[in-house]
Amino acid sequence: MRALSIVNPAGSRIASGRKTIEVRRWRPDLPPGEDLLIVENGRFLMEDGDEDPDGRVVAIVRVGAVRPWTADDLEASCATGFEAGWLAWELYDVRPVTSATPVLAARRLYDLTLPADARIGAALESPWPARR
């Protein structure tokens, strides 16, 4: 499964439904409707090749529209300030995941197998329309 690492507490905010927009400078290379595993880790991965072996899976999501991020998106992205030039990834079909198994957190999108002990919860209500 494709995975995206997100620094704590943003991953948990996605899993709880509080954060419905992820903000990045790049567009994800995902087919419409593909599941994306959210991995929360404890530090920013700044350089190509940076990894953190102590990540934890927190959610499975789908990415809908990818569009310019606006100041109106601050609350949905749980951001404290706005800077033009970023992209807003609208997250929908959010399913919380729990697992006691540490997983690898890496930069950008990467492949990761869902841990065997992972438990997937029911989808949360989303402000974004489902994209199929």
* pTM, full prediction: 0.94
Question: What one-character DSSP code corresponds to residue 125?
Answer: P
Could you tell me the pLDDT band of residue 132, with boundaries at 50, 70 and 90? very low
Average pLDDT for 125-130 = 78
Q: Which two tokens stand for residue 107?
A: 């930069």
66 neighbors 5 (Cβ within 8 angstroms): no
Write down the pLDDT at residue 67.
Answer: 97
95 neighbors 114 (Cβ within 8 angstroms): no
Could you tell me the pLDDT band of residue 32, with boundaries at 50, 70 and 90? confident
